[in-house]
Amino acid sequence: MSSDRPVYESIRSRRAVRDFTDEPVSRGALERILRAARWAPSAGNRRLHKFVALEDAQAIARIKAISPGMFGEPPVLIVICTDAEQLARENVKDHDTSTMVDVGTTAMCMMLAAHELGLGTCPTTSFSAGGVRGALNLPDHLTPDFMLQVGHAKPLPPGGGGGTKLTIDEITHWGAYPSD
């Protein structure tokens, strides 16, 4: 099936970027990425998130120090926080699986928006939530669930990138899961 829509190509060509150049990200680009987050699927249209966008190198370095999953030095870092007050308003009893799905869909929209702008991103979940709370002075009702590193990607070394992709047959069972 062919399409003149570039979405599939964007999905296919996006990579996790762990090495960034020093080139800054424009505020306009950053705002476009944040606007994309507003269009993400959200269960029940609950809109649970608050975002903290960091552009200051020293502030990002502080977060990196408490984030074992951060290896690069991105010029921008966006922290997706789930708002417990909004959870309460929506009668969501726990910060449960469905809320984490919302974090994921939001992050994916942001990564694709950045990719469209020629920016690289790296999803980051290996961080100390308590440490990030302290470093960002987050109120108790905000839980940092996800961090997105954003910047201009350094060229990959020869042979780098890609990675193994499973085939459809390896991951899909049509109709039902086969019995033994």
Partner 1 sequence: MSDQAVISESDALRILAYLTASADTQLFEPDIYGPFRLVEAASQLAGAVLDGEPTENREFWEGVRSSLEDNKFRVIWDRPGFREFVRETPREVAGELTRRDNDRTSA
Interacting residue with partner 1 among 19, 43, 59, 69 (CB under 8 A): 69
Token output for 120: 């690289």
Interacting residue with partner 1 among 40, 127, 144, 149 (CB under 8 A): 127
End-to-end CA distance of the chain: 34
Shorter beta-carbon distance to partner 1: residue 107 or 132:
132
Token output for 174: 């049509």
Shorter beta-carbon distance to partner 1: residue 24 or 69:
69
Interacting residue with partner 1 among 33, 52, 60, 67 (CB under 8 A): 67
129 binds partner 1 (CB under 8 A): yes
Task: Determine the Cα angle at 46 with ends 26 and 82, to 5°.
Answer: 60
What are the residue ranges of helices labelled H in 66-165?
Answer: 84-89, 97-116, 129-136
Shorter beta-carbon distance to partner 1: residue 28 or 163:
163
Shorter beta-carbon distance to partner 1: residue 86 or 128:
128
Residues 39-74, buried b or exposed e (16+ Cβ, 10 A)?
Answer: ebebeeebebbbebbbeeeeebebbbebbeebebbb
Site for partner 1 in 83-112 (CB under 8 A): none
Interacting residue with partner 1 among 97, 126, 137, 167 (CB under 8 A): 126
Q: Which residues bind to partner 1, rule: CB under 8 A?
A: 65-69, 126-131
